[in-house]
Structure 1
Amino acid sequence: MDEHSANEALLVQKEGLVNVSKKTPFFISSVKWTLRVVMWVIFIIWAAFVFMFPSDFVSHLLEKWILATDGTLFGVTGSIFMLFSAPILLMAFLAFAYLSISGEEQSHGKKASRYPGFRLKTFPLFVQGPFGVVSAAESIGIVIFITYVIWAFCKETSNNLNLVALLDLPSKEKCAWMLRHTGLRLGLIGLFCLIFLFLPVARGSILLRLVDIPFEHATRYHVWLGHLTMSLFTLHGIFYIIGWFIEGRLIHELLEWKNVGVANLAGVISLLAGLCMWITSLPGVRRLNFELFFYTHQLYVVFVVFLALHVGDFIFSFAAGAIFLFMLDRFLRFFQSRRTVDVLSARSFPCGTLELVLSKPANLHYNALSWIYLQVRELSWLQWHPFSVSSSPRDGKNHLAILIKVLGDWTAKLEGRIPTDDQKESEIEPLLQSSSRLTVSVEGPYGHESSHHLTYENLVLIAGGIGVSPFLAILSDVLHRINEGTPCLPKNIVIIWAVKTSNELPLLQTVDMESICPNFSDSLNLEILTYVTRESEPSLEEGSKIIEPVNSSTFASSKHHGISVLVGTGNIIWSGTYVVASTIGLIITVALLDIFYINPYNVSYWWYKGLLFLACMVVSTLIFGGLVICLWHIWERKTGINEYENTSENGNLQQTKPKLNKKSVQEQYSTTIRYGQRPDFRDVFESMSDRWGNVDIGVIVCGPPSLQTSVAKECRTQNLKRRGNDAIFHFNSHSFDL
């Protein structure tokens, strides 16, 4: 996470002046550099220890460590926790310190490179296949995991073959022994993969904020790791089942629940819960019935609980750190989602798109490329749907807006809740207002820790349909920054938008460019290329078409119920304190349990100690983490009320209302509409490369997978055939695919 350089010109320009970023004090830079080095050292040592675990060197090292710590308060469980889980929590603590020091500097994005160059994370290496679009950096991660699994399996199999050769047993029993021990090793490998499985699924994880990986990207990694982990656990179970079947004691072993040793029945239940989640998450099933996928995925609670019962406390502690961070995130999200949020206004447009403007406190900050999860209780108490934010954080301190395309039953019902003008003017208005009232809850916002779109001077924003929503937020954010004279790097923006019909075109008018920045053309070169794919020519009234909502409603509220700031991607001080306090609470809880119960009474049942250890994780989250959340909530109420009183929301909301048919605005940017065509990305990218020369061009795509694939393929092609004076295209995706 690089800070702005003192010599780096940031763009621009208020009244012809250029803003230059302030130099970071030497002490702050030194502390940040030290923290980065320490975190890298911890991560490399920890990752090496995990991936090299099957080797004789690491195995002997672990044995020596356990012997050296034998007889201590926490015993073997504490020894393993210190090696495999504590480093994750320690990195979270250091990340808290690092992000706290970075402060506002993070929100401005990373500095632009002085010289154009390739970046592993924005170079699409593979654009088709089971993983979708995969960058070079992601490819390295995939290769590392696949190599680890193959190497670990071969190493463990070799060890088992050496051991079985020493046994004086019949061939049938040797085969069963080999199968069971191979299954054991596969389960251990799967347990290590489980560590990485839970890290990306924590939406507000402080570690994700550290590396600036937004949740919609981390979800892909969770999906990949989920397939790998469940494949290993499934093979783990199958190998054991075959071995027991050969030995003629299959049913007995499946139902066995040992007090000392592994509880097989608990493992069977955990595996069945995992298989239900895995099968329903496969693309065919998930797309056919998303609700089935969503509801069965809540079986992760059963999976984790019975996993702890299955393996006991000391084996469970291998993955306990990552699971604990997920528990903290889930508990925080539960608190945030309990609050009902005011819908300040709602509109339904002719193109089948809804706009909701939601209330938020001024102290809840987000970036232009952000997501929220939305629940409407009148429609469903269980369904949460992700939507990208269509407003800039600079549009208003006390609200944010989202655009929703009416595509399914849930969105159709939502559209029906917006009263028409006739309904509002009728005599039964109070009844209609009460029945059409929207009670919504929100999780988020989630997104990049830094303003990702501010890292490029040249931006190409490619959208399909409603995918233009986040780009409206980017455009608004850039215009506000130019108007206010704050740091803003983009100076060339091209929006390429593919829509099916022309009735979607007026959505661009939701950004009131003239009101935000009357003379933006002095600082920004804006070009909009629109492709109407299912119409061969414009309609007669196309030139005068303006945006007119079919249904609209403004809801008045005196309670000011805004989105709760209790979110992992919110205030870094409170988020970090929550993690630190809960972790300290876990140590205290486990210590008290060992001192007053486990050690005095010689508790030795594996499954029982595993349950107690998991209970300590829950208790520390509820009590110690809950205390921080209560204090955070009190702070939120006090600061939120004060800031709301000092802000005129009516003025902010007025900015969201578009001013129509402003010729002066249209003269400041280039706009082209082509009918019956799809974008030819080769021609578009080549023309940009010729026009802008040897520069970095940030390409951000929001749309269906086919659009992402086409754009990624062309970015890769242009980069591979690049000559010295050609541009370098950096592929970035902003699509949430589940």
Structure 2
Amino acid sequence: MAAWRRPVLVRDPLGIVTAIELAFFLMFLALLAWFYFAFISLDFSKIIVRPGRKIWQAKLFMAALRLGHVGSLCCAFLFFPVARGSPLLQLVGLTSEASIKYHVWLGHLVMLFFTAHGLGYIVLWASTDQIHEMVEWARTRVANVPGELALLSGIAMWVTSLPRVRRHMFELFFHTHQLYALFLVFYTLHVGITVFCSILPGVFLFMVDRYLRFLQSRARVRLVSARLLASKTVELNFCKSPCLTHSPLSTIFVNVPCVSRLQWHPFTVTSSSSLEPDMLSVVIKRAGTWTQKLHEMLTSLPDSQPGHLDVSVEGPYSYSQDTSGSFLDHYDSLVMISGGSGITPFISVIRELVHRSVTTTTPSLLLISVFKSSADLAMLDLIVPASGGFSGVFRLDLRLEAFVTGENMAPTGDVARKAPVKELWFKPSPPHAPIAPVLGHNSWLCLAAVVSSSFAVFLLLLGAVQRLYVYPVDGNSNRVYPRVPRTLLNMLFLCVGVAVAASAAVLWNRRRRNDEAAKQINNLTTPATSPDKVTDGYAGVEVESSPRHFLEQVTQVHFGGRPNLRRMLLQIGGSGTDVGVMASDPPGLLEDVATICSSPSASNLHFESISFSW
């Protein structure tokens, strides 16, 4: 399995692809090819040419029809990777952000086949003087207009999801992608509910997950404190229910209504649920418009009485606990390579290993961080949590190598590392609650109950209406129940089933944890760590036995150049031990590290990509 997980492709268009991913991708393409040509060969052997048509037109009709069927086969898998809280992802050890690339691959295939399907019919209608078919909405058979509307919705999502558009106009991409609801509605009106059932499993799980996320996002969570660094970086510390556990490298979506009611942004969780059972932290670096507004708003708040801040979250989303521990336990050494804010995933890894060092032997750690300026070195201080409890860091075999590329020498007095930090402690508000699992303690069992009960409600409503209303109409020889209302009723019943079952489960679990949440919030009304102690750490008043002093001792800062990653990695890999190599943003750094780890001379370097493709 180690050989199958090595990168074999590094550059575009597929990005960093391991051998096992490439094998499954090629097998899926083989399935699509067999599916298409098996149908085409059968259709061509029994082809019937209608009066007024030529043989090539009859073949084009069959070919375009089967292209739509192949697109539907791809669409059957399209929604599985974007169900963030789906247990299916955790069963195979995938996080929601790592599975995004599979959704991207499938999305390209879906739109290629559906676009070819639509163009094939347009060419056929134009060649047979039946272009009026484009505006036909048949009452009891396949309707063309909703198919065209579904295709236009899909093309809009497809074009705005291209890398150049998504990276430079993320808001346009994000809001345009909400057209998926119209795409599904028009697709179902086009093909009918029977064909829609072929893609129903993925869509159904996505609907359940999306509605649960909606219910979680309606609640306001308790923001305990915020740390502002001189590097224009903010750490937000939330109150968390102890029953909510998450693995390292987890992500969470954050919405701050006073900054923007519509924008949700994903961030890596930097805390460890093992080391900090009552706290969840994220680090936000000032980069875009949203983060700039957030930083300016927090900076303008008074230190003594900042009041409270309304924040909503979705998540966290993480690996399964068993899978997440594999890369921390199965290697003799761990090398973590990051650029800029890409260091945030590795903060949670270090904190998790501090907790594990109490009971087990942990691998040696090397953190290689690349920054543009010396002010960004302050991000290394975020390794020490604001809540304390970090004394176990002395048990780690830890080494930090920081490279500052934009400066040739250290600033006088090491101002960047000693700059004062502003810390805000927010007051609790009655509507605020700790971040907790949306389905309570036994979330897997509760999710299974929601899925099964919602589908049972759907079937009961569907059966009742079909038996009591639709079939009596169809039984009349002079009437046929229209296709559109029948399809819309089926989709309405599906939505009602999901809404009823999920709402009942969330309300039941929320009522059970209200007393526990109130007690926990009261315990966090005063800071667990005095702000003065944190400020003193930045002012240079360090105790020699403190975690901050230890981090300074194991940190070596290099100015004026980039790290020679090939030399450093091959030197570690040549020691004969198994080395896990994790790399984070930016994409160019990921590709460079993957290229080194895929070389034959690095057989004991095992690459773990930390990908963020939202």
User: Normalised by the size of structure 2, how large is the TM-score?
Assistant: 0.90
Question: Is the counterpart of residue 333 in structure 1 residue 204 in structure 2?
Answer: no
The counterpart of 1:406, out of the listed 286, 300, 317, is 286
Considering only aligned residues, what root-mean-square deviation do their CA atoms show, in Å?
Answer: 2.6
Q: Deviations over 1:475-526 (max 9, x none)?
A: 112112324x3xx5532111111111111112222233896454644x4311
Q: Which amino acid aligns with 1:223?
A: V
Distance 1:280 1:544, change over 3 A: closer
1:144 aligns with 2:27: yes
Q: What CA distance in whole angstroms lies between the structure 1 residues aligned with 2:93 and 2:440?
A: 13
| One-letter amino acid of the counterpart of residue 670, structure 1 | V
Tell me how far apart the structure 2 counterparts of residues 699 and 572 of structure 1 sit (CA, whole Å): 31
Superposition map of 1:455-466 within 5 A: 455-457=329-331, 458-466=333-341
Q: Does the aligned pair in 2 maintain the 1:472–1:511 contact within 8 Å? A: yes
Q: 3-state DSSP class of the match of 1:545?
A: helix
1:584 is aligned to 456
Q: SS where residue 208 of structure 1 aligns? A: helix
Q: Give the letter aligned to residue 363 of structure 2.
A: K
Q: What's the offset of the Cα at 1:443? A: 0.5
Cα pair distance change 1:715/1:248, threshold 3 Å: same
Q: Secondary structure at the match of 2:357?
A: helix
Q: Indicate how the Cα distance of structure 1 residues 318 and 545 shifts in structure 2: closer, same or farther if over 3 A, else same.
A: closer
| 2: CA distance, partners of 1:519 / 1:553 | 26
Q: State the Cα distance separating 1:348 from its structure 2 match.
A: 2.2
* Structure 2 match to 1:528: 400
Q: Is the 8 A contact 2:239 2:280 kept in 1?
A: yes
Structure 2 counterpart of 1:259, from 139, 157, 182: 139
Contact 1:578 1:629 in 2 (8 A): no
Equivalent position of 2:112 in the other structure: 231
Q: Which residue of 2 aligns with 1:627?
A: 504
2:478 matched to 1:600? no
- Give yes or no for the alignment of 1:716 onto 2:592: no
Which residue of 364, 367, 373 corresponds with 2:244?
364
- C-alpha displacement of 1:614: 1.4
Gaps of 5+ in 1: 1-116
> Does the C-alpha gap of structure 1 residues 513 and 587 become closer, same or farther in structure 2, counting only changes over 3 Å?
closer
Matched, 1:706 2:580: no
Amino acid at match of 2:315: G
Identify which range, 259-268 or 328-337, moves more after superposition: 259-268
Match of 1:216 in 2: 97
CA contact under 8 A between 2:239 and 2:521: conserved in structure 1? no
8 A contact 1:446–1:569 mirrored in 2: no
Which residue type is aligned with residue 142 of structure 1? F
| 1:651 Cα deviation after fit | 6.4
* CA-CA distance at 1:361 after TM superposition: 2.2
Report the CA distance between 1:156 and its aligned residue: 3.0
Q: Would the aligned equivalents of 1:199 and 1:322 in 2 still touch at CA under 8 Å?
A: yes
Change in 2 beyond 3 A, CA 1:363/1:667: closer
Matched residue, 1:613: 490
Letter in 2 for 1:482: S
1:338 Cα deviation from its structure 2 partner:
0.5
Cα distance change on mapping 1:304 and 1:543 into 2, 3 Å: closer
Question: Aligned residue for 2:578?
Answer: 696
Aligned to 1:180: 61
Q: Are residue 248 (structure 1) and residue 129 (structure 2) matched?
A: yes
How far residue 187 of structure 1 moved from its aligned partner, in angstroms, is: 0.6
Shift of the 235–570 alpha-carbon distance from structure 1 to 2, 3 Å rule, reads farther
Residue matched to 1:8: none
What is the deviation of 1:153? 2.9
Equivalent of 1:130 in 4, 8, 13: 13
Aligned to 2:310: 439
Structure 1 residues 456 and 211: alpha-carbon distance in aligned structure 2, compared to 1, 3 A threshold: same
Q: Report the Cα distance in structure 2 between the residues aligned to 1:279 and 1:688, rounded to whole angstroms.
A: 43
Contact 1:333/1:567, CA 8 A, preserved across alignment: no
Deviation for aligned residue 1:714: 0.4
| Kept in 2: contact 1:339–1:563 (CA 8 A) | no
Residues 1:571 and 1:119: Cα distance change in structure 2 (over 3 Å): farther
Contact 2:355 2:392 in 1 (8 A): no
* Change over 3 Å in CA distance of 1:139–1:471 after alignment to 2: same
The amino acid that maps onto 1:733 is S
Q: Which residue of 2 aligns with 1:291?
A: 171
Q: CA deviation at 1:573?
A: 2.6
Q: Match for residue 575 of structure 1?
A: 447
Query: For residues 418-439 of structure 1, what are the alpha-carbon distances to aligned partners after superposition, in whole Å with 9 as ceiling and x for unaligned?
Result: 1457x457xxx7xxx56xx532
Three-state SS of the structure 2 residue aligned to 1:505 is helix
Specify the alignment match of 1:728 in structure 2.
604
Q: What is the SS of the residue equivalent to 2:452?
A: helix
Between the aligned partners of 2:50 and 2:468, the Cα distance in structure 1 is 46
- Counterpart mapping for 1:199-214 below 5 A: 199-214=80-95
Q: Decide whether aligned partners of structure 1 residues 373 and 279 sit closer, same or farther in structure 2, where only a CA change above 3 A counts.
A: same
CA contact (8 A) 1:388 1:469 kept: yes
Report the alpha carbon displacement of residue 263 of structure 1 after superposing the two structures with TM.
0.9
- The equivalences for 1:368-407 within 5 A come to 368-407=248-287
2:233·2:284 contact (CA, 8 Å) conserved in 1?
A: yes
Which residue of the partner structure matches residue 670 of structure 1?
554
Match of 2:198 among 306, 309, 318: 318
Given residue 610 of structure 1, which amino acid in structure 2 is its aligned partner? T
CA distance in 1, matches of 2:61, 2:368: 57
* Matched residue, 1:508: 380
CA distance in 1, matches of 2:392, 2:101: 41
CA contact (8 A) 1:358 1:562 kept: yes
CA contact (8 A) 1:373 1:387 kept: yes
Post-superposition shift, 1:242? 0.6
Cα contact 1:532–1:673 (8 A) shared by 2: yes
Q: Identify if the C-alpha distance between structure 1 residues 621 and 372 changes in structure 2 by more than 3 Å, giving closer, same or farther.
A: same
- In the alignment, which residue of structure 2 is the partner of 1:471? 346
Residue 563 (structure 1) aligned with residue 445 (structure 2): no
Kindly provide the CA deviation profile for residues 259-305 of structure 1, in whole angstroms up to 9, marking residues without a partner as x.
Answer: 22201111111111111111111112212211111111111111111
Q: Aligned-pair distance for 1:587?
A: 2.6
Larger mean CA deviation between 387-396 and 148-157 belongs to 148-157
Distance 1:649 1:524, change over 3 A: farther
Residue aligned with 2:260, SS: coil
> Which residue identity lines up with residue 411 of structure 2 in the other structure?
S
Identity of aligned residues (%): 32
Give the Cα separation in 1 of the matches to 2:260 and 2:510: 26
Which segment is superposed worse, 217-226 or 564-573? 564-573
* Larger deviation, residues 583-592 vs 139-148: 583-592
1:449 aligns with 2:320: yes
Change (3 A) 1:638 1:141: farther
Amino acid corresponding to residue 555 of structure 1 in structure 2: F
Following TM superposition, by how much is the alpha carbon of 1:183 offset from its aligned partner in structure 2, in angstroms?
A: 1.1
**Distance 1:478-1:183 versus aligned 2 partners, 3 A rule:** same
Q: CA 1:169/1:600 → structure 2, altered by over 3 Å: closer, same or farther?
A: closer
Alignment correspondent of 1:26: none
What amino acid does structure 2 have at the position aligned with 1:187?
G
What one-letter code is carried by the residue in structure 1 that aligns with 2:455? T
Partner residue in 1 for 2:477:
none
**Match for 2:235 among 349, 352, 355?**
355
Name the CA distance, whole Å, in 2 between partners of 1:367 and 1:355: 19
Q: Say if 1:218 and 1:539 are closer, same or farther in 2 by CA, change over 3 A.
A: same
- The residue matched to 1:380 in structure 2 has which SS? coil
**1:88-107 alignment, distance < 5 Å:** none
Judge conservation of contact 2:224–2:524 (CA < 8 Å) in 1.
no
